[in-house]
Amino acid sequence: MAALERCPSGDFLDLLRRREHPFAVGAPVRPVETGQPLIEAHGTTVLAVKYAGGVLNVGDRRATSANAVMYDRAEKILEVDDTTLLAISGSYARALEVVRYLRHAFHYYRRTQLQEMSLEGKLSEVSRVVAQNVASAMSGLGAFLPVISVYDATRGEGRIFFYDGLGARFESEEWGAAGSGAERIRGAFDYILKTKGRFRDMSLDEALSEALVLLDIAAEMDAMTGGYDKVLPSAKAVSAAGIEHLPEERLREAVSRIRRGA
Protein backbone atom coordinates (compact mmCIF):
# COMPACT_ATOMS: atom_id res chain seq x y z
CA MET A 1 0.00 0.00 0.00
CA ALA A 2 1.35 3.42 -0.93
CA ALA A 3 2.40 5.65 1.95
CA LEU A 4 0.05 8.53 2.79
CA GLU A 5 1.46 11.74 1.34
CA ARG A 6 1.73 14.28 4.11
CA CYS A 7 1.35 18.03 4.13
CA PRO A 8 2.65 19.86 7.25
CA SER A 9 -0.50 21.95 7.51
CA GLY A 10 -2.88 19.06 6.84
CA ASP A 11 -4.24 21.09 3.91
CA PHE A 12 -5.91 18.64 1.53
CA LEU A 13 -6.74 21.33 -1.04
CA ASP A 14 -3.07 22.31 -1.21
CA LEU A 15 -2.18 18.67 -1.81
CA LEU A 16 -4.65 18.54 -4.71
CA ARG A 17 -3.18 21.74 -6.17
CA ARG A 18 0.33 20.28 -6.09
CA ARG A 19 -0.98 17.29 -8.02
CA GLU A 20 -2.93 19.58 -10.40
CA HIS A 21 -6.18 17.85 -9.60
CA PRO A 22 -9.11 19.31 -11.62
CA PHE A 23 -11.06 20.07 -8.44
CA ALA A 24 -8.33 22.43 -7.20
CA VAL A 25 -7.37 24.10 -10.48
CA GLY A 26 -10.49 26.29 -10.48
CA ALA A 27 -10.84 26.66 -14.25
CA PRO A 28 -14.34 27.54 -15.42
CA VAL A 29 -16.44 24.74 -16.85
CA ARG A 30 -16.92 25.20 -20.60
CA PRO A 31 -19.85 23.41 -22.24
CA VAL A 32 -18.96 21.19 -25.17
CA GLU A 33 -20.06 22.71 -28.49
CA THR A 34 -22.60 20.11 -29.60
CA GLY A 35 -25.48 22.34 -30.62
CA GLN A 36 -27.47 21.00 -27.68
CA PRO A 37 -27.68 22.66 -24.25
CA LEU A 38 -25.80 20.92 -21.45
CA ILE A 39 -28.27 19.41 -18.99
CA GLU A 40 -27.47 20.09 -15.34
CA ALA A 41 -29.63 18.86 -12.50
CA HIS A 42 -30.43 21.23 -9.64
CA GLY A 43 -31.75 20.51 -6.18
CA THR A 44 -34.27 22.62 -4.26
CA THR A 45 -35.50 23.23 -1.51
CA VAL A 46 -33.66 22.52 1.76
CA LEU A 47 -34.13 24.00 5.20
CA ALA A 48 -32.64 23.66 8.67
CA VAL A 49 -34.28 24.56 11.98
CA LYS A 50 -32.99 24.28 15.49
CA TYR A 51 -34.78 22.24 18.14
CA ALA A 52 -34.17 21.52 21.80
CA GLY A 53 -31.02 19.43 21.49
CA GLY A 54 -29.77 20.00 17.97
CA VAL A 55 -30.59 20.91 14.38
CA LEU A 56 -33.14 19.31 12.06
CA ASN A 57 -32.63 19.30 8.28
CA VAL A 58 -35.50 18.67 5.86
CA GLY A 59 -35.25 18.62 2.08
CA ASP A 60 -37.60 17.81 -0.76
CA ARG A 61 -36.54 15.03 -3.13
CA ARG A 62 -36.96 16.76 -6.49
CA ALA A 63 -34.04 17.42 -8.83
CA THR A 64 -34.81 19.62 -11.83
CA SER A 65 -33.23 20.84 -15.06
CA ALA A 66 -34.87 24.01 -16.37
CA ASN A 67 -38.60 23.18 -16.25
CA ALA A 68 -38.12 19.39 -16.35
CA VAL A 69 -38.15 17.06 -13.35
CA MET A 70 -35.01 14.95 -13.69
CA TYR A 71 -35.45 12.79 -10.59
CA ASP A 72 -37.88 12.73 -7.67
CA ARG A 73 -35.84 10.80 -5.11
CA ALA A 74 -32.68 12.86 -4.82
CA GLU A 75 -30.95 12.95 -1.42
CA LYS A 76 -30.04 16.56 -0.66
CA ILE A 77 -29.01 16.25 3.00
CA LEU A 78 -25.61 14.62 3.17
CA GLU A 79 -23.39 13.62 6.07
CA VAL A 80 -19.91 15.11 5.97
CA ASP A 81 -18.78 13.58 9.25
CA ASP A 82 -20.31 12.38 12.52
CA THR A 83 -21.45 15.86 13.59
CA THR A 84 -21.84 17.78 10.31
CA LEU A 85 -24.66 17.84 7.75
CA LEU A 86 -24.55 19.67 4.42
CA ALA A 87 -27.84 20.51 2.70
CA ILE A 88 -27.64 20.90 -1.08
CA SER A 89 -29.19 23.61 -3.24
CA GLY A 90 -28.16 24.38 -6.79
CA SER A 91 -25.92 22.16 -8.91
CA TYR A 92 -26.43 18.62 -7.69
CA ALA A 93 -23.32 17.18 -9.34
CA ARG A 94 -21.03 19.93 -8.03
CA ALA A 95 -22.45 19.68 -4.52
CA LEU A 96 -21.85 15.91 -4.46
CA GLU A 97 -18.27 16.51 -5.59
CA VAL A 98 -17.78 19.07 -2.82
CA VAL A 99 -19.17 16.71 -0.18
CA ARG A 100 -16.78 13.98 -1.32
CA TYR A 101 -13.91 16.45 -1.14
CA LEU A 102 -14.87 17.60 2.37
CA ARG A 103 -15.09 14.04 3.63
CA HIS A 104 -11.60 13.33 2.31
CA ALA A 105 -10.24 16.67 3.57
CA PHE A 106 -11.48 16.09 7.13
CA HIS A 107 -10.18 12.51 7.07
CA TYR A 108 -6.84 13.65 5.65
CA TYR A 109 -6.46 16.24 8.42
CA ARG A 110 -7.33 13.66 11.06
CA ARG A 111 -4.77 11.19 9.67
CA THR A 112 -1.94 13.71 9.23
CA GLN A 113 -2.47 15.86 12.33
CA LEU A 114 -3.65 13.04 14.62
CA GLN A 115 -6.61 15.09 15.79
CA GLU A 116 -10.02 16.20 14.59
CA MET A 117 -10.27 19.42 12.61
CA SER A 118 -11.82 22.21 14.66
CA LEU A 119 -15.28 23.52 13.87
CA GLU A 120 -13.75 26.79 12.68
CA GLY A 121 -11.43 24.83 10.41
CA LYS A 122 -14.32 22.84 8.91
CA LEU A 123 -16.40 25.95 8.27
CA SER A 124 -13.42 27.70 6.69
CA GLU A 125 -12.85 24.71 4.44
CA VAL A 126 -16.45 24.99 3.20
CA SER A 127 -15.86 28.71 2.52
CA ARG A 128 -12.80 27.82 0.48
CA VAL A 129 -14.57 25.31 -1.76
CA VAL A 130 -17.49 27.70 -2.33
CA ALA A 131 -15.03 30.46 -3.29
CA GLN A 132 -13.09 27.98 -5.43
CA ASN A 133 -16.27 27.38 -7.41
CA VAL A 134 -16.85 31.02 -8.42
CA ALA A 135 -15.34 30.65 -11.90
CA SER A 136 -17.53 27.66 -12.70
CA ALA A 137 -20.63 29.36 -11.28
CA MET A 138 -20.01 32.49 -13.37
CA SER A 139 -19.70 30.34 -16.49
CA GLY A 140 -23.28 29.24 -15.90
CA LEU A 141 -22.57 25.74 -14.58
CA GLY A 142 -21.87 24.34 -11.14
CA ALA A 143 -23.41 27.06 -8.97
CA PHE A 144 -24.47 25.81 -5.55
CA LEU A 145 -25.03 27.18 -2.05
CA PRO A 146 -24.80 24.96 1.03
CA VAL A 147 -26.47 25.10 4.42
CA ILE A 148 -24.25 23.59 7.12
CA SER A 149 -25.68 22.14 10.34
CA VAL A 150 -23.37 21.03 13.12
CA TYR A 151 -23.48 20.03 16.76
CA ASP A 152 -20.97 22.14 18.69
CA ALA A 153 -19.91 20.05 21.69
CA THR A 154 -17.98 22.96 23.25
CA ARG A 155 -21.17 25.06 23.41
CA GLY A 156 -23.56 22.13 23.85
CA GLU A 157 -25.90 23.20 21.06
CA GLY A 158 -26.71 22.82 17.40
CA ARG A 159 -25.60 25.58 15.05
CA ILE A 160 -26.61 26.57 11.50
CA PHE A 161 -24.37 28.30 8.94
CA PHE A 162 -25.03 29.49 5.40
CA TYR A 163 -22.86 31.04 2.67
CA ASP A 164 -23.04 33.50 -0.17
CA GLY A 165 -21.69 32.77 -3.65
CA LEU A 166 -18.21 34.09 -2.80
CA GLY A 167 -17.80 31.96 0.31
CA ALA A 168 -18.72 34.48 3.01
CA ARG A 169 -20.10 32.67 6.05
CA PHE A 170 -23.07 33.65 8.20
CA GLU A 171 -24.59 32.03 11.29
CA SER A 172 -28.33 31.87 11.91
CA GLU A 173 -29.84 31.88 15.38
CA GLU A 174 -32.90 29.81 14.51
CA TRP A 175 -33.13 28.60 10.92
CA GLY A 176 -31.50 28.42 7.50
CA ALA A 177 -32.85 27.67 4.01
CA ALA A 178 -31.61 27.53 0.43
CA GLY A 179 -33.00 26.81 -3.00
CA SER A 180 -35.64 28.36 -5.23
CA GLY A 181 -38.43 27.72 -2.74
CA ALA A 182 -36.51 29.26 0.18
CA GLU A 183 -37.17 32.87 -0.83
CA ARG A 184 -40.90 32.23 -0.93
CA ILE A 185 -41.10 31.08 2.68
CA ARG A 186 -38.73 33.46 4.47
CA GLY A 187 -41.64 35.33 6.01
CA ALA A 188 -43.23 32.08 7.17
CA PHE A 189 -40.21 31.35 9.37
CA ASP A 190 -40.61 34.68 11.12
CA TYR A 191 -44.36 34.11 11.48
CA ILE A 192 -43.70 30.82 13.31
CA LEU A 193 -41.15 32.49 15.58
CA LYS A 194 -43.59 35.27 16.49
CA THR A 195 -46.66 33.06 16.98
CA LYS A 196 -45.31 29.71 18.22
CA GLY A 197 -42.01 30.63 19.82
CA ARG A 198 -38.43 29.78 19.08
CA PHE A 199 -37.53 26.66 17.13
CA ARG A 200 -34.76 25.92 19.63
CA ASP A 201 -37.38 25.44 22.37
CA MET A 202 -39.40 22.89 20.36
CA SER A 203 -39.13 19.12 20.57
CA LEU A 204 -37.81 17.26 17.53
CA ASP A 205 -41.33 16.19 16.52
CA GLU A 206 -42.67 19.74 16.87
CA ALA A 207 -39.81 21.12 14.77
CA LEU A 208 -40.41 18.36 12.20
CA SER A 209 -44.08 19.30 11.83
CA GLU A 210 -43.23 22.98 11.35
CA ALA A 211 -40.49 22.15 8.83
CA LEU A 212 -42.84 19.96 6.79
CA VAL A 213 -45.47 22.71 6.70
CA LEU A 214 -42.82 25.17 5.50
CA LEU A 215 -41.67 22.76 2.80
CA ASP A 216 -45.27 22.20 1.68
CA ILE A 217 -45.82 25.96 1.39
CA ALA A 218 -42.64 26.22 -0.69
CA ALA A 219 -43.89 23.42 -2.96
CA GLU A 220 -47.19 25.23 -3.52
CA MET A 221 -45.43 28.45 -4.49
CA ASP A 222 -42.41 27.06 -6.37
CA ALA A 223 -42.74 24.57 -9.24
CA MET A 224 -39.15 23.38 -8.71
CA THR A 225 -39.87 22.18 -5.18
CA GLY A 226 -41.50 18.84 -4.41
CA GLY A 227 -43.89 18.51 -1.48
CA TYR A 228 -44.68 15.48 0.68
CA ASP A 229 -47.77 14.09 -1.09
CA LYS A 230 -46.05 12.05 -3.80
CA VAL A 231 -42.62 11.37 -2.27
CA LEU A 232 -41.80 12.00 1.37
CA PRO A 233 -38.98 14.48 2.02
CA SER A 234 -35.75 13.39 3.64
CA ALA A 235 -35.07 14.47 7.22
CA LYS A 236 -31.93 14.19 9.32
CA ALA A 237 -31.09 15.60 12.73
CA VAL A 238 -27.71 16.25 14.34
CA SER A 239 -27.36 16.35 18.12
CA ALA A 240 -24.99 15.29 20.89
CA ALA A 241 -25.89 11.69 20.03
CA GLY A 242 -24.68 12.17 16.44
CA ILE A 243 -26.65 12.15 13.22
CA GLU A 244 -30.12 10.60 13.14
CA HIS A 245 -31.92 9.69 9.92
CA LEU A 246 -35.64 10.08 10.59
CA PRO A 247 -37.47 7.08 9.10
CA GLU A 248 -40.41 7.36 6.70
CA GLU A 249 -42.82 6.10 9.39
CA ARG A 250 -42.01 9.10 11.56
CA LEU A 251 -42.49 11.46 8.63
CA ARG A 252 -45.86 9.87 7.78
CA GLU A 253 -46.99 10.35 11.39
CA ALA A 254 -45.96 14.02 11.21
CA VAL A 255 -47.86 14.48 7.93
CA SER A 256 -50.93 12.85 9.49
CA ARG A 257 -50.77 15.27 12.44
CA ILE A 258 -50.57 18.21 10.04
CA ARG A 259 -53.60 17.03 8.08
CA ARG A 260 -55.60 16.50 11.29
CA GLY A 261 -54.62 19.97 12.43
CA ALA A 262 -53.03 18.49 15.54
What does the pLDDT read at residue 1?
A: 40
What does the pLDDT read at residue 38?
A: 52
**Which string of b and e fits 157-193 if b means at least 16 CB within 10 Å?**
bbbbbbbeeebeeeebeebbbbbbbbebbeebbeebe
Q: What CATH number is associated with residue 154?
A: 3.60.20.10
From CA 109, how far away is CA 111, in angstroms rounded?
5
Residue 118: beta bridge partners? none
CA distance readout (Å), 60 to 9, 187, 219:
38, 19, 9
- Domain contains 232: yes
Which helix (H) or strand (E) covers residue 81, if one does?
strand 77-81
From first to last of the 262 residues of the chain, give the pLDDT tens digit. Answer: 444 556 656 777 776 767 767 666 554 445 545 555 555 666 679 999 999 999 999 999 988 887 788 888 899 999 999 999 999 888 888 889 999 999 999 999 999 999 999 999 999 999 999 998 887 777 777 788 899 999 999 999 999 999 998 999 999 999 999 998 998 999 999 999 999 999 999 999 999 999 999 999 999 999 889 989 889 999 999 999 999 999 999 999 999 999 998 6
pTM of the model: 0.85
Residues assigned a catalytic role:
44
What domain range includes position 240? 41-260
Q: Per 3-state DSSP, what percentage of the chain is helix, strand, and coil (rounded to 5)?
A: 40, 25, 35
Which helix (H) or strand (E) covers residue 190, if one does?
helix 186-196
Which residue from 146, 144, 120, 122 is spatially nearest to 133, judged by alpha carbons?
144
What does the pLDDT read at residue 7?
A: 61
DSSP string across 235-257: EEEEETTEEEE--HHHHHHHHHH
- Domain contains 24: no
From CA 218, how far away is CA 17, in angstroms rounded?
40
Number of domains in the chain: 1
- Domain contains 32: no
Task: Estimate the crossing angle of helix 204-221 against helix 186-196, to 10 degrees.
Answer: 150
Is the separation of the CB atoms in 4 and 110 below 8 Å? no
- Domain contains 11: no
- Domain contains 53: yes
What does the pLDDT read at residue 142?
A: 76
- Domain contains 211: yes
- Domain contains 36: no
- Domain contains 23: no
DSSP string across 28-66: PP----SSSPPP--EE--EEEEEETTEEEEEE---EEET
